[in-house]
Amino acid sequence: MEAKRLEIATLICADHTTPNIVKRLRVTHQTVYNVHKRLEDIGSLKDRPWTGRPVKLTPKAAKKAFEAKPTMSMAEFARKKAIA
């Protein structure tokens, strides 16, 4: 998808029309619009910062904890990791 975005952005910067880009790259009008809006809003194709609650525990850390003590209950795990 990233490669498609880059192609669309290149064509937008080269002053191609939306219908021309849609036909040439076989993408939807909405995809072209989204890339165009992203270029206008943030001037880049990079993803916007994520919103929402930050992750307190990574899957890797959880796996490591349960491998160390497989009989641990979820409640005990939550207390130890201070996530409950």
pLDDT digits (tens, 9 = 90+) for 16-74: 999 999 999 999 999 999 999 988 888 888 777 778 888 777 888 888 888 888 888 88
Residues 64 and 35 in one domain: no
Confirm whether pTM is higher than 0.75. no
Residues 34 and 63 in one domain: no
Q: Does residue 49 form part of some domain?
A: no
Instruction: Check: CB of residue 9 under 8 Å from CB of residue 35.
Output: yes
Answer whether residue 84 shows pLDDT above 60.
no
* Cα 61 to Cα 69: distance, rounded to the nearest angstrom: 13
Residues 6 and 33 in one domain: yes
Residue 62 Cα distances to 53, 56, 76, angstroms: 18, 11, 12
pLDDT confidence of 81, banded at 50, 70, 90?
confident
User: For residue 7, what are the contacts with CB-CB under 8 A and spacing of at least 6?
Assistant: 25
Instruction: Give me the number of domains the chain comprises.
Output: 2
Q: Does residue 16 form part of some domain?
A: yes
Q: Does residue 69 form part of some domain?
A: yes
Burial of 35 per CB tally in 10 Å (0-12, 13-18, 19+)? buried
Domain membership of residue 67 as a residue range: 55-84
Q: Does residue 84 form part of some domain?
A: yes
